[in-house]
A and B are shown apart, each in its own frame.
Chain A
Amino acid sequence: MKNEEVGQLIKEYKETGEPLLTLLHKIQNLIPHNHLPAEVLKKVSRELKIPVSSLYSTASFYSMFSLKPRGKHIIRVCSSPPCKLEEYDSLIEAIGEKLNLSIGETTCDGQFTLEEQSCLGLCSLASVMMVDNDIYKNVTVTQLPEILDTYVEE
């Protein structure tokens, strides 16, 4: 599980004194399926002499970290009140139908995970959604298939 690269990141962390959240972000980006597996947290704990419990407590708190494996692509639909006034419900429904997926789940083929996203500060462009790092504005149900298709592997 990318042992060496994780080790390298931990080494850099020790040398630069960067913040712990940054280290966790970097490790998560490295691990396939966008998550922080238990054995990696244990490794971090051993090497940094931070109790596993406090690492777990930090990692489980923030919505950008996941302890469970996620899909290759993460779909995040803004679920804050201003976006919910627009297309939110129908978007969630349409994604559910197209990919057989509900919030918090990952497709069987490991391609997509669907998550809720808090306000992205783009409320004048509601409804807003993200796939990985790409942001889509004024999304409607009709555009949805085209957006998702660009991420589906042949």
Chain B
Amino acid sequence: MKIYRLHVLLSTDSRSILRGALEVETKLKEEIIKKGLENEVQILRTGGWGIEEGVQLTVYPGGLIYVINNVEDIPYLVEEHFLKGRPVKKLMYEIDAPAKVEMTAPIEEEIMKKQTRIILRNVGLINPEDIKEYIAHDGYQALAQVLSTMTPEQVISEIKASELSGRGGAGFPTGFKWELTAKAPAKPKYIICNADEGEPGTFKDRVIMEGDPHSIIESMAIAAYAVGANKGFIYVRGEYDLSIDRLNIAIKQSKEIGLLGNNILGTNFDFDVEVRIGAGSYVCGEETALMESLEGKRGEPRSKPPYPSTEGLWAKPTVINNVETLANIPLIILKGAEWYKGLGVEGSRGTKVFTLFGDVNAKGVIEVPFGFTLKELIYEIGYGIKGGKNLKLVQLGGSSGSFITPEHLDVPIDWNSVRKIGAGQGSGAILVLDETRCVIDFLKNLLAFFNHESCGKCVPCRVGLPKALDLLNRVTSGNVEIDELGFMEELANVMKNTSFCGLGQAAANQILESLKYFKSEFINHIETGYCPANKCGRL
């Protein structure tokens, strides 16, 4: 084995690639050869740390992070740091908060200091296309431990004891879900990984699939063993090319060394996983619609009950879990439920991955234990609002999530606390909007999205959304009476109470929350014909 003096981790998730990671890689290699360092410096492709700027290079030993915005800076970096050993401060990560923040310490002491990485433990650190690196970071050890020392019942009781809850939006206890399927008599059983991530503003699952695909496969195998399934499907959005590629590579590599297939690790456990690709539909993220789609049909939600646990894919008992939920499993097995329960707060154990973006200084993909407040997330980890402006609104959990207004910034983000203020934490998207944004315009965009994605199966959603949009258009064109806002509220309540699935209910929530927190803005628009944000057409 070759021993290198320096290891350079290069972020190559899709966001980094769009920012020029492959050009950076080519230039780096060129310069390294030019300086004759090819036997001393090794470049390794990894996922991203979740820094939403430039292409990240992390240099070990040391762990210093460079953020490359321009390939022309590379010759200097190679000469100074790689050849002469002098770190280049001006190419390090810098946050453009009112007072500039320079990130010149190693990654562990700087960006990761406030975070706890369980789910993203390998993302940014290992090459997602090489199973050996996953194994070197304890990969597949949990599976080995489960198969050799635990009964299926023990696995389920460990997951139950950890109080792991689903990260796909609803927070259902995972161990309980597995138990229902394990106890269902019908056969065969299936495991599905829900990787249809379509919630606007959410890209956490993508980060996991692009940075650590094996963790999903390992977790699915553990789930399969626990419930008695032999077949799994990962349903990925058709638009997520790189996720699809990396999952397929991971599956192929696992098969080659016998971690998938028949008689895994010499036991009598067989398990196989296939990637299935969606074709563009938001509602297919809903678990029963997803199963319809997997069966090759229109992705319309089914009536529940029966629930998927007992009658899911092809009417067989099925466990369906979100990508992020699954990524927790290996560490729960390796470190134990007690350890896991030490993270987070009562009722919400473990950590949560958030995508923080919008009008915030340091956008990013971050992971913290449950119980952090939005204030901490936005002002400490995100370094505050862009341009020193004031916060108007946070949309937590994506387009079907909840509005959080500044007075609730101190509420901890965990299932119970968020529920107390009538909100939900949804997918983990944190969209920050500053005082210059117009709520009416934002609501219009939200409703247009739901209208586009409504599957048309039920009347309240199919008919209600165009009605609500029409009303909003009349608010911004000045062609509406104030009491029609009452009608809008009534319409939203009907949609909320009678829509068939979460889509129509979520859409209605957006209307109700806008009216609850920003009614004066509606009235202002109607009475003065003026949009303070200068966003709405006529005004």
Residues on A lying within 8 angstroms of B by beta carbon are 19-22, 24-25, 54, 57-58, 61-65, 79-82, 84-85, 116-125, 133, 135, 137
Contact = CB atoms under 8 A, between A and B. Distances in A.
Contacts of B296: 19-21, 58
A10 to B, nearest CB: 14
Top 3 A-B pairs ranked by shortest CB distance?
A20-B296, A62-B279, A63-B280
Given A82-B357, A121-B205, A123-B431, 13 more contacts: A22-B277, A57-B298, A58-B296, A80-B200, A81-B395, A81-B399, A84-B448, A118-B200, A120-B239, A122-B18, A122-B203, A124-B363, A137-B18
Contacts of A58: 296-298
A22 B15 CA distance: 26
B437 to A, nearest CB: 7
Contact of B279 (A65, A80, A81, A116): A65
Interface string B289-301: 0000110111110
Q: Most chain-A Cβ atoms within 10 A of its Cβ — which of B19, B197, B198, B296?
A: B296
B200 A123 contact: yes
A96 to B, nearest CB: 16
B355 A118 contact: no
A57 B203 contact: no
Nearest to B537: A89
A137 B19 CA distance: 8
Contacts of B18: 122, 125, 135, 137
A19 B281 contact: no
Given A19-B294, A57-B297, A121 B431 contact: no
B404 to A, nearest CB: 16
B201 A119 contact: yes
Q: Most chain-A Cβ atoms within 10 A of its Cβ — which of B19, B203, B299?
A: B203
Interface residues of B, number: 52
Contacts of A84: 445, 448
Given A19-B294, A63-B280, A135-B18, A121 B449 contact: no
B358 A54 contact: no
Contacts of A80: 200-201, 399, 445, 449
A44 B237 CA distance: 24
A81 B442 contact: yes
Interface string B267-286: 00000000011111110000
A125 B195 CA distance: 21
Nearest to B284: A62
A119 B281 contact: no
B452 A123 contact: no
B86 to A, nearest CB: 32
A69 B277 CA distance: 23
26 contacts: A21-B276, A21-B278, A22-B276, A25-B238, A61-B299, A63-B279, A64-B238, A64-B279, A65-B279, A79-B452, A80-B200, A82-B357, A85-B358, A118-B280, A119-B199, A119-B200, A120-B239, A121-B205, A122-B203, A123-B200, A123-B201, A124-B357, A124-B364, A125-B15, A125-B19, A137-B18
A147 to B, nearest CB: 13
A12 to B, nearest CB: 16
B326 interface: no
A81 B357 contact: no
A119 B296 CA distance: 23
A58 B298 CA distance: 5
Contact of B452 (A54, A64, A118): A118
Contact of A122 (B15, B205, B395, B433): B15
A124 B281 contact: no
B62 to A, nearest CB: 27
A62 B200 contact: no
Nearest to A83: B200
Contact of A19 (B199, B202, B276): B276
A50 B199 CA distance: 32
B281 A63 contact: yes
A137 B205 CA distance: 20
Interface string B425-456: 00001010100010000100110110011010
Interface string B354-378: 0101100001100000000000000
Nearest to A55: B296
B203 A121 contact: yes
Contacts of A20: 296
A140 B293 CA distance: 36
